[in-house]
Amino acid sequence: MSYQVLARKWRPRNFAELVGQAHVRQALTNALDNDRLHHAFLFTGTRGVGKTTIARILAKSLNCEQGISSTPCGQCGTCMEINEGRYVDLIEVDAASRTKVDETRELLENVQYAPTRGRYKVYLIDEVHMFSNSSFNALLKTLEEPPPHVKFLLATTDPQKLPVTILSRCLQFNLKHLSPEQIRNHLGMVLEKEGIVFDTPALGLIARVADGSMRDALSLLDQAIAFGGGSLREPDVRSMLGSIEQHHIIDLLTGLADGDANALLSRIAQLAEQAPDFAGVLAELISTLHRIALAQAVPGVVNDEMADRQAVLALAGRLSPEDVQLYYQIALIGRRDLPLAPTPRGGFEMVLLRMLAFRPHSARDDTPPRPAAAQPTPANHGASQQSNHPSPPTAPPATDASRRASAMADVRSQLTGKAKAAATKKTKKPANTGNAPSQPIAPRAMPPAIRQNPPPQDQSPVTDDMPPIPDYMKEEIPPAYGNTRASAAASAATAERHETLAVAEPAPAAIVPAAAIEVVPGPDEWESLATALDLKGVNQQLALNCALTSRQGNHFTLSLAPTHAQLLSTARENLLREALGQQLGETVTLSINVEQTGNTSPATRQKQRQAARQRQAEASIEQDHTVQALRETFAAQINPGSVQPVD
């Protein structure tokens, strides 16, 4: 008798032998035992997860000579013929080779006839997504209302290609990937019954490479047994799969933990002598990093399937969780980009060197710890007097964010000290130069940014002697929304006031409260704000069709044209108010008046700009020399509406 491959020899014969897919097994078992059978079943999933196997078991359960049940006997003529693939009432169809509608019609012509031997005539259509649209249309009516003696079992790896009309007529079962543990345990059982000597780590290697497919795992097992001469040993399996021994991965991770680039490159050179698949090496590295992360979270869940549990636990103690997550992410991205590298070895080296380069400072043993706060210097002596308590010796090293915050605090202290000195200087009466008395300067209106966003009451007022803000601090200050020209004009006005005050000191002028000044920002400012709001649909249309009448402090008064009054409702007005407050970072109040005003809404301005661009595009086409030549020579005409502006 010829040799039968393991994938066929150990195919499950009943639901009890089925590996995984408990949700499918439970549903079909209950349906068979309670006689609640549908006429069409659809099994979906990737290759090798049991779609055809489950369909054949279901066919045996329906036609077993002992009766319909979830446990076919397996000994009767029907069960044996189905196992051997020669049962007359089980019609297996490969849809990939029968895609034409004529073949489908020919197949369905025999549906009306009763089964020859069994209770049901079972149609098993594999890869049904390969049917053409005409074939699906021919199948629809029969699939929806088949004769009582017919059952349809459909299987596919790509259910997205099936029409919805087919899906709605079937009971659909989505088969899952098998886990490496399930595959490894099943392979171990097969080898024990076959009487073959094996290494447990070798089974783990095959289970991971199978990628959730039991058929692929059994095929690889056949190949590995032949490669090893009748036994299954880890070195042989690694050599067959092109993978490397696990201790090489441990050595690489140890070099990362030591931060030793020389050791890493030396170990990579040793690996290169074995001509490995560096993509596979990265996959092994990622898998080991995953196990290290598990060991750091729950040490008990780490198994010894690769005979490296102690080494994994040791690395989990040496590496910080942050480093492990960083290395894992870099390895994932590096594996994706490895085909783009000039050589696989060079790409692999860059991945490991990138891990060293991006290690946090706190994880580098050769980096001295930084102090938690900067030491006081003559420049910030005034600020250091306010907090002269030394940092505790056990404080962790300062990060980039903390050092930046400390530097910002020092600069703010310097500005505060200079402002106080300037305020003290202003209390002294300046000496008059010459006989001309000093002329007071008329108070000016505050810049728009200050009027719209007045400082809180508990802050010190802005003085004219405040030093300019350094360039590296300007990124910390969020710009006010609106036209940047107004901000530039305000800055120029402030510089002019500095020069004027250096000549003559004015008398203190009364400051008008910001809440008492009614500000009407320009249409550009309101359009920028309305466009930036986090609103969608009708709520966004309401904001764009409103024009800003005035703004007094945090109260906005808007006008809405009567032609758009249907956009206004209490709920939408509340959403607009909340969006304004969220955008400005403060609580605002809002009132919307339905009236016709001279103010222009953002929607109207956008339409005007679009119309101007359309006119400009049409004028450009009209003035084009080629178009004019075509008109003169061939009496050509431009189709109305065919000219569109290019963004």
User: Is the per-residue pLDDT at 265 higher than 70?
Assistant: yes
Structure tokens at 620: 């450009």
Task: Say how far apart CA 554 and CA 585 lie, in whole Å.
Answer: 11
- C-alpha closest to that of 220 among 209, 233, 236, 204: 209
Structure tokens at 429: 């009466």
Task: Say how far apart CA 100 and CA 138 lie, in whole Å.
Answer: 10
Percent of the chain with pLDDT over 90: 42
Q: How far is CA 251 from CA 248, 346, 644, in A?
A: 5, 19, 64
pLDDT value at position 208? 86
Burial annotation 490-512 (CB, 10 A radius, 16+ → b, else e):
beeeeeeeeeeeeeebeeeeeee
User: Is the per-residue pLDDT at 448 higher than 70?
Assistant: no
DSSP assignment letter at 477: S
Amino acid at 382: G
Task: Say how far apart CA 57 and CA 55 lie, in whole Å.
Answer: 5
CA 150 centroid distance within chain: 46
pLDDT digits (tens, 9 = 90+) for 498-554: 444 444 444 444 444 444 444 456 677 888 889 899 898 888 999 999 999 988 888
Q: pLDDT band for position 456 (50/70/90)?
A: very low
Task: Say how far apart CA 96 and CA 103 lie, in whole Å.
Answer: 12
Task: Say how far apart CA 38 and CA 41 lie, in whole Å.
Answer: 7
Q: How far is CA 173 from CA 63, 161, 334, 490, in A?
A: 21, 16, 36, 69
pLDDT digits (tens, 9 = 90+) for 275-312: 888 998 999 899 999 999 999 998 888 877 777 888 99
pLDDT digits (tens, 9 = 90+) for 347-400: 999 999 999 998 776 555 444 443 333 343 343 444 334 434 444 444 444 445
Tokens 């007045």 label which residue? 454
N-to-C CA span, the chain: 75
Task: Say how far apart CA 369 and CA 396 lie, in whole Å.
Answer: 8
With left for phi above 0 and alpha for psi between -120 and 50, is residue 71 left, alpha or beta? beta
- C-alpha closest to that of 143 among 134, 152, 155, 154: 152
Average pLDDT rounded to a whole number, residues 591-600: 88
- C-alpha closest to that of 284 among 249, 234, 251: 249
Complete domains list, the chain, with CATH: 6-176 (3.40.50.300), 182-362 (1.20.272.10), 523-600 (3.30.300.150), 611-647 (no CATH)
pLDDT value at position 402? 52
Q: For the residues of 101-126, what is the DSSP string, one character each? A: HHHHHHHHTTTTSPPSSSS-EEEEEE
pLDDT value at position 3? 82
pLDDT digits (tens, 9 = 90+) for 140-193: 888 888 999 999 999 999 999 999 999 999 999 999 999 988 999 999 999 999
Strands, E, within 55-205: which ranges? 90-94, 121-126, 150-156, 171-174
Give strand pairing partners of 122. Answer: 90, 151
- The answer, as to whether pTM is greater than 0.95, is no
